[in-house]
């Protein structure tokens, strides 16, 4: 039995009791005590075990009660649960749990995506990362709707929303469907146009730095999923690339997922970038 399964066995009766009795105190306590925070890595296995509990309908637990519990978790604010504190694990788990919830209850998709939009602009990096962990549960079932919504985020030109949208889509297993790898690469093209238009004075803005960090690896994920179209776009993006975009593209060229598998293409891209 692996770690996640062991945690699932322990968590399931606590979760069911919280729903049945409409009292989440014991559940909150269990999550906090076992979250492994503060530390470099939160207990991701526990967060996903929690999401599985949310999906489990063995006892026909009321979905309205589950939803109320999830909304309570994600409402735990940064003031109450700052970065790397044990309580930060509560909204982190709540957002991931919402991914499992909408997998079983698709009528809640719009509500979950609205909550994810809130998470995308949260000041806590771990809460923002919960978007990518949560969408794994339901993106294959609602890909077209999610792309429509995330394109709206990009069109708002909010750097944190853009980063959240891209992170929620950059899931390698999902991108094995070439239809969606193309859509993500095209969306990245829109984002790169935005980056090219940014004045240098904004490069040090905290929100832009968050987007920049995401772009430094997300592009390589998208290119690796569809190398033919991906490298075609990378060559296109090098043309007239700003100093900032040049650095972003160079960082992606260093990622093993493309550097090792497509060395000739990467070297060709790097040659152009170095000459910019």
Residue 61 has pLDDT above 80, yes or no: no
Task: Categorize the per-residue pLDDT at 59 as very low, low, confident or very high, splitting at 50, 70 and 90.
Answer: low
Q: Say if residue 11 is in the same domain as residue 103.
A: yes
* Rounded average pLDDT over 108-129: 98
Residue 190 has pLDDT above 70, yes or no: yes
Task: Categorize the per-residue pLDDT at 211 as very low, low, confident or very high, splitting at 50, 70 and 90.
Answer: very high
Please report the pLDDT score of residue 69 as a whole number.
97
Q: Say if residue 75 is in the same domain as residue 37.
A: yes
Q: Say if residue 205 is in the same domain as residue 188.
A: yes
Sequence-distant (6+) residues with CB within 8 A of 68 are none
Select from 138, 171, 201 the last residue of a domain: 138
Domain range for 209 is 143-276
pTM for the structure as a whole: 0.95
Average pLDDT over the chain, rounded to an integer: 96
* Rounded average pLDDT over 242-246: 96
User: At 37, which helix (H) or strand (E)?
Assistant: none
Please report the pLDDT score of residue 40 as a whole number.
87
Q: Say if residue 158 is in the same domain as residue 116.
A: no
CA angle at 27 for the pair 91 and 167, rounded to the nearest 5°: 25
Q: Say if residue 148 is in the same domain as residue 94.
A: no
Residue-wise pLDDT tens digits, 14-36: 999 999 999 999 999 999 999 99
Q: Which is it for the CA torsion 155, 113, 249, 238, positive or negative?
A: negative
Please report the pLDDT score of residue 58 as a whole number.
66
Q: Is 38 left (phi over 0), alpha (psi -120 to 50) or beta?
A: beta
Q: Say if residue 5 is in the same domain as residue 59.
A: yes
Residue-wise pLDDT tens digits, 127-161: 999 999 999 999 999 999 999 999 999 999 999 99
CA distance 42 to 52: 17
Q: Say if residue 207 is in the same domain as residue 234.
A: yes
Q: Say if residue 90 is in the same domain as residue 181.
A: no
Residue 60 has pLDDT above 80, yes or no: no
Q: Which residue carries 């152009």 as its tokens?
A: 272
Long-range contacts of 268-273 (CB under 8 A, 24+ apart): 268/235, 269/231, 269/234, 269/235, 269/238, 272/235, 272/238, 273/238, 273/241, 273/246, 273/249
Q: Say if residue 214 is in the same domain as residue 128.
A: no
């Amino acid at each position: 039995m692996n770690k996640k399964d062991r945690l699932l066995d322990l968590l399931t009766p606590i979760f069911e009791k919280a729903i049945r009795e409409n009292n989440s105190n014991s559940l909150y306590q269990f999550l906090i005590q076992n979250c492994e925070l503060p530390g470099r890595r939160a207990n991701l296995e526990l967060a996903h075990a929690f999401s599985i509990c949310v999906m489990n309908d063995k006892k026909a637990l009321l979905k309205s009660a589950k939803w109320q519990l999830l909304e309570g978790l994600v409402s735990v604010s940064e003031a109450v649960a700052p970065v790397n504190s044990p309580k930060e694990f509560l909204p982190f788990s709540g957002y991931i749990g919402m991914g499992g919830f909408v997998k079983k209850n698709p009528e809640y998709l719009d509500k979950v995506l609205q909550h994810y939009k809130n998470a995308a602009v949260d000041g806590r990096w771990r809460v923002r990362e919960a978007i990518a962990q949560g969408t794994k549960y339901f993106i294959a079932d609602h890909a077209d709707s999610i792309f429509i919504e995330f394109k709206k985020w990009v069109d708002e030109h909010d750097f944190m929303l853009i980063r959240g949208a891209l992170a929620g889509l950059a899931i390698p297993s999902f991108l094995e469907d070439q239809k969606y790898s193309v859509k993500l690469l095209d969306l990245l093209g829109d984002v790169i146009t935005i980056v090219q238009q940014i004045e240098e004075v904004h490069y040090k803005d905290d929100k832009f730095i968050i987007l920049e960090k995401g772009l430094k690896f997300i592009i390589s994920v998208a290119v690796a999923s569809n190398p033919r179209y991906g490298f075609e776009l990378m060559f296109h993006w090098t043309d007239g690339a700003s100093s900032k975009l040049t650095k972003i593209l160079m960082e992606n060229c260093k990622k093993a997922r493309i550097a090792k598998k497509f060395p000739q293409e990467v070297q060709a891209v790097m040659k152009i970038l170095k000459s910019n």
